[in-house]
């Protein structure tokens, strides 16, 4: 697919607006450098915050869309296999059955976007990450210390 980065439209803008736009783009660039990764709102993958992984969207704070390129291409018709479902993490096609994908009531179609295996390891990683954050946050330390001083 040809990517429309809107550059041809910029050429039509008056000078002042073009300068504003250039300023805007510098902010976006600074933002991308300050926040080098971005979580796709669809598959939940953490990817580099670059136009390689996200299509450009000038209206966004970081100049990129919220859904990764992989998910955008998956959303297009014709790339689905009947009776199969593609895992958003390992990107493998697996049978769309409860044996391979968990039921998730709030997710579109009722299927988990990750296969059972990926969900298991993802939740595990997530749990370890949360644990690590808990153990290092000043609040968690305070709570821990106060619990040690005042045993219940």
Contact residues toward Zn ion (CB under 5 A) are 40, 42-43, 68, 71, 87, 89-90, 115, 118
Cα 106–111–112 angle (5° rounding)?
85
- Output 43 or 64, the one with its CB closest to Zn ion: 43
Closest separation between CB of residue 88 and Zn ion, Å?
A: 6
Closest separation between CB of residue 45 and Zn ion, Å?
A: 5
Count CB neighbours of 69 within 10 A: 18
- Distance CA(106)–CA(57), nearest Å, equals 27
- Output 13 or 90, the one with its CB closest to Zn ion: 90
Cα 38–70–100 angle (5° rounding)?
105
Closest separation between CB of residue 93 and Zn ion, Å?
A: 10
Closest separation between CB of residue 100 and Zn ion, Å?
A: 9
Yes or no: say if 115 and 101 are a contact pair by the CB < 8 Å rule.
yes
Q: Where are the alpha helices (DSSP H) in the chain?
A: 7-10, 15-34, 69-75, 116-136, 138-149
């Amino acid at each position: 697919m040809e990517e429309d980065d809107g550059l041809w439209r910029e050429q039509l803008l008056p000078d002042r607006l073009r300068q504003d736009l250039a300023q805007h783009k510098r902010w976006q660039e600074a933002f991308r450098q300050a926040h080098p990764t971005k979580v796709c709102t669809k598959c939940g993958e953490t990817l580099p915050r670059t136009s390689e992984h996200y299509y450009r969207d000038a209206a966004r704070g970081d100049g990129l869309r919220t859904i990764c390129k992989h998910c955008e291409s998956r959303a297009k018709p014709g790339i689905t296999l009947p009776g199969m479902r593609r895992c958003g993490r390992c990107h493998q096609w697996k049978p769309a059955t409860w044996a391979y994908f968990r039921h998730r009531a709030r997710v579109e179609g009722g299927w988990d976007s990750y296969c059972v295996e990926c969900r298991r390891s993802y939740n595990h990683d997530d749990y370890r990450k949360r644990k690590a954050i808990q153990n290092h946050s000043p609040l968690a330390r305070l709570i821990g210390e106060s619990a040690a001083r005042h045993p219940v």
